[in-house]
Structure 1
Protein backbone atom coordinates (compact mmCIF):
# COMPACT_ATOMS: atom_id res chain seq x y z
CA UNK A 1 0.00 0.00 0.00
CA UNK A 2 1.28 3.45 -0.90
CA UNK A 3 0.45 6.78 0.66
CA UNK A 4 1.04 9.78 -1.58
CA UNK A 5 1.55 13.26 -0.16
CA UNK A 6 1.21 16.13 -2.63
CA UNK A 7 3.35 18.93 -1.26
CA UNK A 8 5.63 21.81 -2.20
CA UNK A 9 8.81 23.29 -0.74
CA UNK A 10 8.21 25.92 1.92
CA UNK A 11 4.71 24.68 2.84
CA UNK A 12 4.74 24.45 6.63
CA UNK A 13 1.55 22.35 6.77
CA UNK A 14 3.06 19.92 4.25
CA UNK A 15 6.35 19.68 6.13
CA UNK A 16 4.56 19.11 9.44
CA UNK A 17 2.39 16.35 8.00
CA UNK A 18 5.37 14.70 6.31
CA UNK A 19 7.35 14.71 9.57
CA UNK A 20 4.47 13.07 11.42
CA UNK A 21 3.95 10.46 8.70
CA UNK A 22 7.66 9.59 8.82
CA UNK A 23 7.48 9.13 12.62
CA UNK A 24 4.77 6.46 12.46
CA UNK A 25 6.21 3.23 13.87
CA UNK A 26 5.95 0.14 11.65
CA UNK A 27 3.97 1.84 8.92
CA UNK A 28 1.72 -0.34 6.78
CA UNK A 29 2.34 1.96 3.84
CA UNK A 30 5.13 3.27 1.67
CA UNK A 31 5.23 7.08 1.71
CA UNK A 32 5.75 8.87 -1.59
CA UNK A 33 6.20 12.65 -1.61
CA UNK A 34 5.18 14.44 -4.80
CA UNK A 35 6.38 18.02 -5.26
CA UNK A 36 3.60 19.83 -7.11
CA UNK A 37 6.05 22.40 -8.47
CA UNK A 38 7.62 19.72 -10.68
CA UNK A 39 4.54 19.19 -12.86
CA UNK A 40 2.06 21.72 -14.22
CA UNK A 41 -0.91 19.35 -13.89
CA UNK A 42 -0.19 18.70 -10.21
CA UNK A 43 0.37 22.40 -9.54
CA UNK A 44 -2.86 23.41 -11.27
CA UNK A 45 -4.84 20.80 -9.38
CA UNK A 46 -3.34 21.11 -5.87
CA UNK A 47 -1.82 24.59 -5.52
CA UNK A 48 -4.61 25.76 -3.19
CA UNK A 49 -5.27 22.40 -1.52
CA UNK A 50 -1.92 21.13 -0.21
CA UNK A 51 -1.14 19.09 1.72
CA UNK A 52 -3.18 16.43 -0.05
CA UNK A 53 -3.06 12.73 0.82
CA UNK A 54 -4.03 9.79 -1.35
CA UNK A 55 -3.79 6.07 -0.76
CA UNK A 56 -3.16 3.53 -3.51
CA UNK A 57 -4.29 0.07 -2.49
CA UNK A 58 -4.63 -1.82 -5.73
CA UNK A 59 -2.61 -2.77 -8.75
CA UNK A 60 -4.74 -0.50 -10.94
CA UNK A 61 -2.93 2.44 -9.27
CA UNK A 62 -6.20 4.21 -8.42
CA UNK A 63 -5.66 7.11 -6.02
CA UNK A 64 -8.23 7.29 -3.22
CA UNK A 65 -8.33 10.64 -1.36
CA UNK A 66 -7.70 10.63 2.39
CA UNK A 67 -9.48 13.33 4.43
CA UNK A 68 -7.01 15.97 5.56
CA UNK A 69 -6.00 15.44 9.19
CA UNK A 70 -5.83 18.38 11.57
CA UNK A 71 -2.39 20.01 11.74
CA UNK A 72 -2.73 19.63 15.51
CA UNK A 73 -3.13 15.85 15.34
CA UNK A 74 -0.39 13.95 17.12
CA UNK A 75 1.60 11.19 15.41
CA UNK A 76 -0.49 8.61 17.31
CA UNK A 77 -3.77 10.27 16.26
CA UNK A 78 -2.58 10.45 12.66
CA UNK A 79 -1.67 6.76 12.75
CA UNK A 80 -5.14 5.89 14.10
CA UNK A 81 -6.85 8.01 11.42
CA UNK A 82 -4.85 6.33 8.65
CA UNK A 83 -5.44 2.82 10.01
CA UNK A 84 -9.17 3.45 10.23
CA UNK A 85 -9.33 5.03 6.78
CA UNK A 86 -7.23 2.32 5.12
CA UNK A 87 -9.23 -0.52 6.67
CA UNK A 88 -12.50 1.14 5.57
CA UNK A 89 -11.13 1.61 2.04
CA UNK A 90 -10.04 -2.03 1.86
CA UNK A 91 -13.54 -3.14 2.86
CA UNK A 92 -15.13 -0.89 0.25
CA UNK A 93 -12.77 -2.16 -2.46
CA UNK A 94 -13.57 -5.78 -1.59
CA UNK A 95 -17.31 -5.25 -2.05
Structure 2
Protein backbone atom coordinates (compact mmCIF):
# COMPACT_ATOMS: atom_id res chain seq x y z
CA UNK A 1 0.00 0.00 0.00
CA UNK A 2 1.19 3.50 -0.82
CA UNK A 3 1.60 5.87 2.11
CA UNK A 4 0.59 9.33 0.92
CA UNK A 5 1.18 12.43 3.02
CA UNK A 6 0.14 15.92 1.99
CA UNK A 7 2.19 18.56 3.79
CA UNK A 8 -0.08 21.55 4.18
CA UNK A 9 -1.28 24.26 6.54
CA UNK A 10 -4.53 26.03 7.35
CA UNK A 11 -5.47 28.89 5.06
CA UNK A 12 -3.32 27.67 2.17
CA UNK A 13 -5.52 27.86 -0.95
CA UNK A 14 -3.01 25.82 -2.98
CA UNK A 15 -3.16 23.10 -0.33
CA UNK A 16 -6.94 23.04 -0.65
CA UNK A 17 -6.58 22.71 -4.43
CA UNK A 18 -4.17 19.81 -3.95
CA UNK A 19 -6.62 18.02 -1.64
CA UNK A 20 -9.40 18.46 -4.17
CA UNK A 21 -7.14 17.15 -6.93
CA UNK A 22 -6.32 14.06 -4.85
CA UNK A 23 -9.95 13.37 -3.86
CA UNK A 24 -10.63 10.91 -6.73
CA UNK A 25 -7.59 8.84 -5.71
CA UNK A 26 -8.77 8.84 -2.10
CA UNK A 27 -12.24 7.78 -3.27
CA UNK A 28 -10.54 4.87 -5.06
CA UNK A 29 -8.74 3.63 -1.97
CA UNK A 30 -5.59 5.72 -1.60
CA UNK A 31 -5.02 6.60 2.01
CA UNK A 32 -4.01 10.21 2.42
CA UNK A 33 -2.79 11.80 5.62
CA UNK A 34 -2.74 15.59 5.73
CA UNK A 35 0.04 16.98 7.93
CA UNK A 36 -0.01 20.58 9.08
CA UNK A 37 3.57 21.83 8.93
CA UNK A 38 2.85 24.31 11.72
CA UNK A 39 2.60 21.40 14.19
CA UNK A 40 6.26 20.39 13.81
CA UNK A 41 9.31 22.66 13.66
CA UNK A 42 11.20 20.24 11.38
CA UNK A 43 8.32 20.11 8.91
CA UNK A 44 7.97 23.89 9.06
CA UNK A 45 11.64 24.41 8.22
CA UNK A 46 11.61 21.76 5.50
CA UNK A 47 8.37 22.68 3.71
CA UNK A 48 7.77 26.34 4.60
CA UNK A 49 7.93 27.76 1.08
CA UNK A 50 7.21 24.52 -0.79
CA UNK A 51 3.71 23.57 0.35
CA UNK A 52 1.72 21.79 -0.72
CA UNK A 53 4.05 18.82 -1.02
CA UNK A 54 2.84 15.28 -1.61
CA UNK A 55 5.12 12.58 -0.20
CA UNK A 56 4.69 8.99 -1.39
CA UNK A 57 6.18 6.18 0.68
CA UNK A 58 8.78 8.57 2.09
CA UNK A 59 10.71 8.22 -1.17
CA UNK A 60 9.06 10.56 -3.67
CA UNK A 61 8.13 14.17 -3.00
CA UNK A 62 6.01 16.06 -5.50
CA UNK A 63 6.07 19.83 -5.17
CA UNK A 64 3.11 21.87 -6.29
CA UNK A 65 1.98 22.20 -8.98
CA UNK A 66 1.38 18.52 -9.64
CA UNK A 67 -1.45 16.94 -11.58
CA UNK A 68 -3.29 13.67 -11.26
CA UNK A 69 -1.27 12.04 -14.06
CA UNK A 70 2.02 12.87 -12.34
CA UNK A 71 0.74 11.47 -9.05
CA UNK A 72 -0.49 8.27 -10.72
CA UNK A 73 2.79 7.85 -12.60
CA UNK A 74 4.73 8.27 -9.36
CA UNK A 75 2.53 5.71 -7.60
CA UNK A 76 3.06 3.25 -10.46
CA UNK A 77 6.83 3.72 -10.27
CA UNK A 78 6.75 2.68 -6.59
CA UNK A 79 4.51 -0.35 -7.05
TM-score over 0.5 for the alignment?
yes
Secondary structure in 2 matching 1:10: coil
Q: Which has the higher contact order (CA 8 A, sep 6+)?
A: 2
Unaligned runs of at least 5 residues, structure 1: 57-62, 91-95
Larger Rg: 1
In 2, are the aligned partners of 1:66 and 1:85 still within 8 Å (CA)? no
| Partners of 1:67 and 1:40 in 2: CA distance | 21
Q: What is the TM-score of this pair, normalised by structure 1?
A: 0.69
Query: 54, 62, 71: which is aligned to 1:67?
Result: 62
Root mean square deviation of aligned Cα: 1.8
Q: Judging changes above 3 Å, is the alpha-carbon distance between structure 1 residues 87 and 23 closer, same or farther for their aligned structure 2 residues?
A: closer
List runs of 5+ in structure 2 lacking aligned partners: none
